[in-house]
Amino acid sequence: MSGLRLQRPEDDATLEDWRHVHNVIIPTHVLSPDEVRERALRHHLEVAYLGDALIGCSTVRPPTDHTRTATVIARVLTPHRGRGFGEELYARGLDRARELGAAVIETVVLSSNEDGLRFALRHGFVETERYLLPGEHVPWIDLRLS
């Protein structure tokens, strides 16, 4: 084990840590504290620490009833990339999605996050769609695990 400590964000401090990682990696879609609290009710969120240092976060959107498709997203702050932390976050998210009954796994990456896109492609994801959200100028990429 790499010494990575993962925990669900259940208080203001850990919710803020999750929000910080999200907003640094997804600067085009900044979330408010209230939006993160709401996401924590719908999704399985985790925050990753190495010792006391915040290094990343993850999201598992549970599978939908009719398609049994779950979304797994692992985010690692730039200074901590390339050390296997994304692997651990992703593997844990994948296990969680399957525990929740997922038959299909997807992820989503902001197109400007080249490291994230390379990570997804290296792990067997294939691009299914590129799109812009209203008011945004950087495309999102949906990918499905093949």
Spatial distance between the Cα atoms of 68 and 22, rounded to a whole number of angstroms: 25
- Torsion angles phi and psi, residue 125, rounded to 5: -85, 145
Residues 6 or more apart whose Cβ sits within 8 Å of residue 52:
none
pLDDT (mean) for 74-90? 95
Residue 71 above 90 pLDDT? Answer: yes
Return the minimum-mean-pLDDT range out of 11-15, 66-70, 123-127: 66-70
pLDDT, position 65: 78
Strand partners, 6: 48
For the chain, the structural domain boundaries read 4-145
Q: What is the pLDDT of residues 31-66, one digit of tens each?
A: 999 999 999 999 999 999 999 999 999 999 999 878
The predicted model scores a pTM of: 0.93
Eight-state DSSP code of residue 122: H
pLDDT one-digit tens code per residue, 124-142: 999 999 999 998 899 999 9
**Sequence-ordered alpha helix ranges (H) in the chain:** 12-25, 33-42, 85-99, 114-122
- DSSP designation for 43: S
Is the pLDDT at 1 greater than 60? The verdict is no
CA atoms within 13 A on the CB side of 57: 24
So what's the pLDDT on residue 64?
82
2: pLDDT strictly greater than 80: no
Tokens of 67: 């398609």
pLDDT confidence band for 93 (50 / 70 / 90): very high
Residues of the chain above pLDDT 90, percent: 91
Q: What is the pLDDT of residue 3?
A: 87
The residue assigned the tokens 């949906």 is: 142
- Top-level CATH class of 4-145? alpha beta
